[in-house]
Structures are given as C-alpha cells and as structure tokens.
Amino acid sequence: MAELRSEEEQLDAIKAWWKNNGTSLIAGVVIAVSGVLGWNAWQNYQENQSEAASLRYQQLLSLAADPALDEGGRAEARGLIDEITDNHGRTLYADLAQMFEARLAVAEGDLAAARAALGDVIDGNARDYIQALARLRLARVQIADGNPEAALEVLDSGIPDSLSAQRQDIRGDAFVALERDDEARDAYRQAMALAVEHGQSLYGVQLKLDNLGAEDATL
C-alpha cells in the first residue's frame, strides 16, 4: 500500500496522521514523562525520609550498645526515640524505638515508666511480633514490681507459638512470686519442653525448677 505512493503523498499522509493523532500522542508522552518524574521525586522524598530514620535509629543503637549509659546519654537517646516515633511512625524503626524507651526507664529504676512504655507498645499499632515481645517484657516488669497477677494476665494472650517457651518461663516466675509452687513447677517444665521443641535455649529454668524441689526425688 505505502510503496505505491509517491514521497509527497507519504509526507501528506504523515502530516494528516499527525494532525489527527499528534495531540493525544504528545499528551501520552507528557503524562508518561511527568509520571516518571513525579515517581522519581516521590521516591527521592521517601528515600530522604527513610535515610533520616535509619541514621537516627543507628545512633540510638550505638547509644544502647553501651551497658552503662549515663544521664546525658539517656537524654540523647530519649530525644532520638521521640524524633523517630514522631517523624517516622508506622515504621519498624518506630516500633523498636518505643521498646528502647522501656529499657531506659529500667536503667533509671523507674518501673512505672517502663510499664507505661511497654503498655503503649501493646496498645498502640506496633507490629504483632513486637507487641508480643513487649508483653513478655511487661510481665517481667510487673513481677519485679510486685504485681504477678497482672503479669499472668498480660501473658494470657497475644504471644505467638515461637515465643511460648519464654512465656512459660515468665509464668513460672509469676507463680513463684505468688507462692503457687505446683503451678510454677508445671510452667517451668513446659518452658523446658517448649524450648527443646523450638530449638531454643533458656537460661536458669533448670536452676529455678531445682530450687522448688523436684517432688519425685524424695521417694
């Protein structure tokens, strides 16, 4: 078809085609280009945000790696935690930063504050697994704070199977605090069995169990 036409005719055909379709083609190109540019700009913005979160978090980690953090260090860490939770909420950085808050409180001996921080994680919108870890830690704080009943309640739900060994271990501690030795023994035994099942190690469960006096050793 095309080869039958002269060059001039072809040119005319192209011009006519362009007249009909040119605008929409340009529109398509413009939309695509602006789409790509917009996407890149958005990516850029996202990356800058993510980088800022990452840098703050990395700083928090290096502060936290120091076991004997002084008051200045703690204040600095608190500032970072606030920045991360305020500016980068909903990220894992924010979830984890909140967990550091409890650690700072424990370091200051302020169990009430630790409880509050962990409670915030559990009631907030942190990821499920982080919430489960917060439950385990909250229960430990509650036992230390003289409230083992509350600890048992916290451990009652929201903890996945993969943390069940830790859960039973802490339940055992709560029962010991309540002087319910039989239940404590039972919880410790389950903790050890679950640890084996999940290929994990627990420290001190055997010690705690032994200290309760194994009832069958007295035959």
Partner 1 sequence: MLQSIRDRSKSWGAKIIIGAVVVTMALFGVDSLVTLFTGSPDDVAEVNGQTITRQQVEMNVQRAIRSGQVPPEQERALRNQVLDELITDALLDSYAEDGGLFLSEGQLDQLIVTLPEFQDQNGRFDADLFRNRLASAGYSPTSFREELKADMQRQQLQQGLAFSDFTLESERERLGELQRQTRSFRYHLLEVGDLETPPEASEEQLEAYYEVNADNYQRPEQVRLEYVIIDRDEMAAEYELDEQALRDAYAERGSDAERRVSHIMVTFNGERSREEAEARLEEVQARLDEGDDFAELAEEYSDDTSTSGAGGDLGTVSRGFFDDAFENAAFSLGEGDTSDIVESGNGLHLIRVTELDMPSFEAIRDDLQREAALSEVTDDFNRRVQQLIDDSFAADDLQSVADDIGLELQTTDWVSRDAAEGVLSEPGVMEAAFSDDVLVEGFNSEVLELDDDRRMVLRVADHRDATLLELDEVRERVEASVMANLRREALRDLAASQIEALRDGDELDIDWQAVESVDRQSGAAPQAVIRAAFRLPRPEDGARYGHVVDGDRVAIIALDSVASGEVDAEVEGFVTQMAERLRAQAAIQGLLEYLRSTAEIERL
**Which spans of this chain sit near partner 1 (rule: CB under 8 A)?**
21, 24-29, 31-33, 35-36, 47, 50-51, 53-55, 57-58, 61, 64-65, 88, 90-93, 95-96, 99-100, 102-103, 106-107, 109, 111, 114, 127, 129, 133, 137, 140-141, 143-144, 160-163, 165-166, 198-204, 207-208, 210-214, 217-219
Smallest distance from partner 1 to CB 24, Å: 4
Smallest distance from partner 1 to CB 127, Å: 7
123 exposure class (CB count in 10 Å sphere: 0-12, 13-18, 19+): exposed
DSSP three-state, residue 89 = coil
Of residues 156 and 204, the one with the C-beta less far from partner 1:
204
Of residues 143 and 154, the one with the C-beta less far from partner 1:
143
Of residues 7 and 207, the one with the C-beta less far from partner 1:
207
Of residues 93 and 175, the one with the C-beta less far from partner 1:
93
Q: How far apart are CA 126 and CA 129, in angstroms?
A: 8
Q: Output the CA–CA distances (angstroms, integers) from residue 127 to 90, 99, 210, in the order listed.
A: 9, 12, 37
Tokens matching residue 55: 């840098």
Q: How far apart are CA 94 and CA 125, in angstroms?
A: 10
